[in-house]
Amino acid sequence: MTALSILHVDDEDDIREVAAFALELDPAITVTSAGSGEAALAELDGGLRPGVILLDVMMPHLDGPGTLARIRERTEHQATPVIFMTARAQSGEVDHYRALGALDVITKPFDPMSLAGDVRAILAAQP
């Protein structure tokens, strides 16, 4: 498997913990977790260069779409792939998230056994 660095951003501790465990079932994946949009931006500003960012949509203070906009302001992260994670994933909402620049959406609750494969499949489907 190809090595993959993931920045996972979610304000809920238990979701971050389960996602990190699930993603790291793939031995080629390393995960950095952030509990807020602000914490994610600090990780990026500190030099983190993830291969993909998994970004919760609904977070207090700075939500997922706001975080994505701030990520795109950083030249070195304008092309970093972002996948939103949300329980709100009706087709119109998914289209909206894609229009904001997300590659795709993973619906919560996610399947821990397939999360790493789902992320890799989304990345592989990109041109």
| pLDDT tens column, 32-79 | 999 999 999 999 999 999 999 999 999 999 999 999 999 999 999 999
Number of domains composing the chain: 1
| pLDDT tens column, 86-126 | 987 777 898 999 999 999 999 999 999 999 999 999 999 98
Phi, psi for residue 9 in degrees, rounded to 5: -120, 115
Q: What is the CATH number of the domain that holds 118?
A: 3.40.50.2300
Query: What pLDDT, on a 0 to 100 scale, did the predictor assign at position 92?
Result: 85
Mean pLDDT along residues 22-41 = 97
Q: Which domain holds residue 63?
A: 4-124
**Rounded-to-integer distance, Cα 117 and Cα 22, Å:** 10
Residue 1 has pLDDT above 80, yes or no: no
Residue 110: DSSP 8-state: P
pTM over 0.85: yes
